[in-house]
Amino acid sequence: MKNPDPLVPPLVIAVDGPAASGKGTIAKALARHYALPFMDTGKLYRACGLAVRLAGHDPYDADAATRAARTIDTALLSDPDLMSSLNSDYASIVSSHPAVRAALFETQRAFAQAPGGAVLDGRDIGTVIAPDAPAKLFVTAAPLVRAARRHAELMNRGADQPLADVLADIEARDARDSGRSAAPLTRAADAALLDTSDLGIDAAVGQAIRLVEEALARRGQHSA
Ligand X SMILES: Nc1ncnc2c1ncn2[C@@H]1O[C@H](COP(=O)(O)OP(=O)(O)OP(=O)(O)O)[C@@H](O)[C@H]1O
Ligand Y SMILES: Nc1ccn([C@@H]2O[C@H](COP(=O)(O)O)[C@@H](O)[C@H]2O)c(=O)n1
**Residue 17 annotated in ligand binding:** yes
**Residue 23 annotated in ligand binding:** yes
What is the contact surface with ligand Y in residues (CB under 6 A)? Answer: 19, 41-42, 45-46, 88, 91-92, 95, 122-124, 173, 177
Question: Binding ligand X by CB under 6 A: which of 11, 12, 14, 25?
Answer: 25
Which residues from 181-210 bind ligand X, rule CB under 6 A?
196, 199-201, 204
- 21 interface partner picked from ligand X, ligand Y, none, CB below 5 to 8 A per type: ligand X
The distance of closest approach from Cβ of residue 140 to ligand X in the complex, given in angstroms and rounded to an integer, is 9
**Residue 18 annotated in ligand binding:** yes
**Residue 66: which of 41, 45, 38 has the closest Cα?**
45
The distance of closest approach from Cβ of residue 62 to ligand Y in the complex, given in angstroms and rounded to an integer, is 14
The distance of closest approach from Cβ of residue 213 to ligand X in the complex, given in angstroms and rounded to an integer, is 19
Chain Cα centroid distance, residue 148: 19
The distance of closest approach from Cβ of residue 3 to ligand Y in the complex, given in angstroms and rounded to an integer, is 29
Taking CB under 6 A as the rule, which mask of x and - marks residues 28-47 in contact with ligand X?
--------------x-----
Is the distance from CB of 169 to CB of 175 less than 8 angstroms? no
**Residue 20 annotated in ligand binding:** yes
**Residue 200 annotated in ligand binding:** no
The distance of closest approach from Cβ of residue 56 to ligand Y in the complex, given in angstroms and rounded to an integer, is 21
Query: Which is nearer to ligand X, 66 or 87 (by Cβ)?
Result: 87
Q: How far apart are the first and last CA of the chain?
A: 12
**Residue 179 annotated in ligand binding:** no
Q: Pick out the residues of the known binding site.
A: 17-25
Q: For binding to ligand X (CB under 6 A), which residues are involved? A: 17, 19-25, 42, 149-150, 153, 196, 199-201, 204
